[in-house]
Structure 1
Amino acid sequence: MRFEEPVLLYGAGREASSTRAFLKARQPDLKVFVTVDSGAADIAETEIIAPADLPAAIRAHRFGLIVKSPGVSRYKDVFDIARDAGIPVTSNLNLWGAAYGADRTVIAITGTKGKSTTATLVHLMLTRSGVDAGLAGNVGLAPLEIADRHKVVVFELSSYQTSDMSFLPDIAALTNLYPEHVDWHGSVERYYRDKLHLIDRDGGFAVALGTAARGNALVTRALRDPHRLVRELTAAESASIDKAVAGSRLKGAHNLDNARLAVQIALAAGGTLDGVVAGIAAFTPLPHRLEEHSFGGMIFVNDSISTTPEATKAALAAYRGHRLALIAGGHERQQDYAELAGLLAGYGVTTLTCLPVTGTRLAAATRAAAPQVTVLEAPDLEAGMRALHGHRQDFDAVILSPGAPSYNQFKNFEERGRRFVELAQAIFG
């Protein structure tokens, strides 16, 4: 792989840094530019092009390739300008596929929720089975960071990455499909199409589907041929997996589904039953995913990764039997909270704290559907936690499972989750 013209990196995060290192190793003298829509363009040995100057730079053909970071929407007008100028747009993932993909077994896992847990489990199951496997994508390493280190690579991929993925995996997996990321994709329909691009392509690759994906008509259409599906687990295998999950740190019915899907993938990729059971035992909950803490004799659950109402329902279901306080609400992505509001009391929610901006709709829906639930509205997370402290006799567990992204008040869900834990200790501990 050789680059005949300068390259533009659009975005300056982890993937962009690994792309720069890849280009430097391949062609030390290659000219590289960088553009960012916000934040610092802190990548060594690059020349910055301001976003306002980018259309003119494209028309002047100052570079011959754009490597787009996942967080930059492929539907920005500037990429239409690039297409008209004959400048292709690619990604860190696609560069990996071109450089290293041919000699590896590629497992690509996506889905609205559960993909990180499933991918982590598959990696654990394969390594415990003695398979030389690596983990990359949104968990583990960036694609170009993992390079050619392993014979099997498990990729956890967002819809941002599957939307323009140019190479075929050997095994593609979809956990589920719900509305999400409308701001990036422009519509729910486009989100579904971009997510399903992982499987909705010609090729003889195998496909594994999670429980929630199997009954989805859009998924069935994208699958094309049911003969693509990996084999179902036998009754004996299912019993072994159910027993292993019951004794593990995987909480909730949704994580049992994730584990079963991971087992199907791992067995199809050369794993053993003993290996997958060992992988389940070795699993540690990922940060900000039903991450438990205890302060002042009360349980606090950091589920900040929850950005959809479906994820919030799964979190609440994992804590049945508790009297729950739920903290929810965040960045607007056209989420529908009507069903969630009607289910809160049945999940054991006694107190609901709603945060801007989607919390306003959740609060109204809950007051209408479940008047027995105490609804508190707060301008920010700290105010919400302090309001909860005044009702602390009404619950024995607090769950931050916002059902919405964090961008209106936090940099990302990790920052939101860390702040939740800090406040829990400071206010309740």
Structure 2
Amino acid sequence: MNQKFQTFKKSISGKKVAVIGIGISNTPLIKFLIKLGANVTAFDKKSKGQLEEVYDELEALGVSFSLGDHYLSNISHEIIFKTPGMRYDIPELLEAREKGSTVTSEMEVFFELCPAPIIAVTGSDGKTTTTTLIHKILKQEGYHCWLGGNIGTPLLSEIENIKENHKVVLELSSFQLHTMRTSPDVAVITNITPNHLDVHKSMEEYIDAKKNIFLHQSKSGKLVINFDNAITRDFEKEAVGAVVMFSRQNGLERGVFIQDQSICVNMDGSTHKAMDVADIILPGMHNVENYMAATGAVWGLAGAESIKKVAGTFTGVEHRIELVRELNGIKFYNSSIDSSPNRTMATLNTFNQKVILIAGGKDKNIPYDEIGEALVNNVKCLILIGPTGSKIKKALEDEVQRSGKGKDIPVFICSTYEQVVKTAYSNAVSGDIILLSPASTSFDMFKNFEERGKVYKGIVKGL
């Protein structure tokens, strides 16, 4: 029996609880809290009409609501679950704390109650694929595994079903980590580059949020970090537990590294081969790095046979360099997950030919200067949409002026995704690749990158 959960169950019964945000993850949370006997009020900027059937479903369970533009004006509940993307220091939450409210999140409570070992992954790029790989490798090894965090099922509502001998694998964003004071048993940081600076006040705050994934580990914990990334490499000196470095670009005496075209591991003074790089069917060297990070996380729990089996069968996660269709010799790819310039640069390097690139979206106040060289070297036609379109266009123009290359790359500015796809298709010939890799978040037009990818795929399939 999970004694921590039993104590939590008793403590929350009858309490006035606020849940901010009525979305994919918070709807199961609200139902779970109602089941435990809490008096729940759901807060959301949306109206009753916008929430549609979700409102009716939750109202039938006895949930109260605070909706609309001033939805947080009367928040003063005993316990407040904030949505991950909301800053902890907004005036309404600061005032609620002063009045005695406890402000927490689903993930913070899950960490407190979870009886099973937790492996968690964060990073600016590659965290979803790496998390998925770890989950698949552990399942291949025979463990009962749970997948959650930013992907999979919201796990707090499943806490009664998670046992001590299970494994939990989580993808965690900087938003989820920002106020965390508990760290997982195994922490993985794929890399850190500028990201989410529209929410975080500075790059330093963004880095500090990421560091919470390992700062609260015990000496028995393990931290897996990217040696090739200057920011993550520097975390070694702050680690409490064991540190495992992985490197695709440098030879390491210990850690996870490439030797004779094989991914090798040395954690005990002797070198073991995990698999050949050629065993990985996912395209791109960035995916080799994802496998190296995953290998570092599971080594000691899973053997080389399970790692190699997954490498030879896993074809990728939806919206990540996903082949949508081939029409008249033109291949359409969907990589809507690419919400930063770094991700798009890595995706462009996956292909051995120049592509027709669709990019642009919400501006996160991050620099786009570095993408210019990748555009000049890897793009034959550029289709732009959204607020960051002008930044991406300027990055291309600056690189053309600097290098003298890429003067013949046509640039089109579009206002709808229908126009984007049609413009790309009309400028393509047989043998071309059309790639959606936005280098920006989706929130200017869509709920999330998944919706953006689905809309794109729907239009492409309708051609």
Distance of 2:286 and 2:391 partners within structure 1: 26
Is the 8 Å Cα contact of residues 119 and 186 (structure 2) preserved in structure 1?
yes
Which residue of 348, 355, 362 corresponds with 1:324?
A: 355
| Separation in structure 2 between the aligned mates of residue 331 and residue 395 of structure 1, nearest angstrom | 31
Q: Using a 3 Å threshold, how does the CA distance of structure 1 residues 19 and 389 change in structure 2: closer, same or farther?
A: closer
Q: Residue 222 and residue 187 in structure 1: after superposition, are their counterparts in 2 closer, same or farther (change >3 A)?
A: farther
Would you say the 8 A contact 1:75–1:185 is kept in 2? no
Distance 1:297 1:53 in 2: 51
Residue 187 of structure 1 deviates from its aligned partner by 3.1
Cα deviations by residue, 1:21-51 (Å, 9 ceiling, x for unpaired): 3323333xx2111101235263342101246
2:363, 2:333 → 1: CA distance?
23
In the aligned structure 1, how far is the partner of 2:368 from the partner of 2:190?
22
Aligned to 2:312: 281
CA pair 373-414 structure 1, distance change in 2 beyond 3 A: same
Q: Residues 291 and 121 (structure 1 numbering): CA distance in 2 closer, same or farther, change over 3 Å?
A: same
SS in 2 for 1:178: coil
Equivalent of residue 415 in structure 2, options 369, 376, 379: 379
Residue in structure 1 matched with residue 85 of structure 2 by the alignment: 71
Give the structure-2-normalised TM-score: 0.83
Q: Any residues of structure 2 matched to 1:92-111 within 5 Å, and which?
A: 92-99=106-113, 101=114, 103-111=115-123
Which position in structure 2 is the counterpart of 1:201?
216
1:14 and 1:416, CA in 2 relative to 1: closer, same or farther beyond 3 A?
A: closer
- 1:82 is matched with which residue? 96
- Runs of 5+ consecutive residues of structure 2 not aligned to the other structure: 1-7, 245-253, 265-271, 401-406
For the 8 Å contact 2:133–2:294, the answer to whether it is kept is: yes
**What's the secondary structure of 2:70's corresponding residue?**
helix
Is the deviation greater in 394-403 or in 37-46? 37-46
Once the two structures are superposed, the pairs formed by residues 88-167 of structure 1 within 5 Å of their partners are 88-99=102-113, 101=114, 103-147=115-159, 148-150=161-163, 151-167=166-182
Aligned to 2:365: 334
Letter paired with 2:18: L
2:187 alignment partner, one of 160, 167, 172:
172
The verdict on how the C-alpha distance between 1:424 and 1:37 changes in structure 2, with shifts beyond 3 A counting, is same
* AA partner of residue 208 (structure 1): V
- Secondary structure of 1:180's partner? coil
> AA paired with 2:30?
R
Which residue in the other structure is 2:30 paired with? 20
Counting matched residue pairs gives 413
Determine the structure 1 residue equivalent to 2:64.
47
* 1:233 corresponding residue in structure 2: 256
Under a length normalisation based on structure 1, what TM-score does the superposition of the two structures give? Answer: 0.89
2: CA distance, partners of 1:46 / 1:282: 44
For residue 25 of structure 2, give the secondary structure of its aligned residue in structure 1: helix
Distance across 2 between alignment mates of 1:195 and 1:49: 32
> How far does the alpha carbon of each residue in 1:198-248 deviate from its partner, in whole angstroms, 9 at most, with x for none?
1233632210013544x22x65247514862136137575295552x5344
Provide the secondary structure at the position in 2 that maps to 1:109.
Answer: strand
The CA deviation at 1:92 is: 1.0
Instruction: Give the whole-Å Cα distance in 2 for the aligned partners of 1:139 and 1:425.
Output: 26
Distance 1:15 1:246, change over 3 A: same
1:363 match: 393
In structure 2, the residue matched to 1:397 is 433
CA RMSD across the alignment: 2.3
Match of 2:452 among 393, 409, 416: 416
Partner Cα distance (1:78, 1:222) in 2: 37
| Structure 1 residue identity aligned to 2:390 | T
Contact 1:11 1:68 in 2 (8 A): yes
What residue is the counterpart of 2:248 in the other structure?
A: none
Q: Which runs of 5+ in 1 are unaligned?
A: none
- Contact 1:200/1:223 (<8 A) preserved: no
Query: Secondary structure of the residue that 2:462 maps to in structure 1?
Result: helix
1:35 equivalenced with 2:53 (yes/no): no
What is residue 425 of structure 1 aligned with on the other side? 461
The one-letter code matched in structure 1 to 2:242 is R
Tell me which residue corresponds to 2:292.
Answer: 260
Q: Which has the higher contact order (CA 8 A, sep 6+)?
A: 1
* Whole-angstrom distance in 1 between the partners of 2:109 and 2:240: 30
Offset of residue 337 of structure 1? 1.9
Structure 1 residues 403 and 241: CA distance shift in structure 2, 3 A: farther
Shift of the 202–264 alpha-carbon distance from structure 1 to 2, 3 Å rule, reads: closer
> Displaced runs of 4+ in structure 1, greater than 6 A?
none
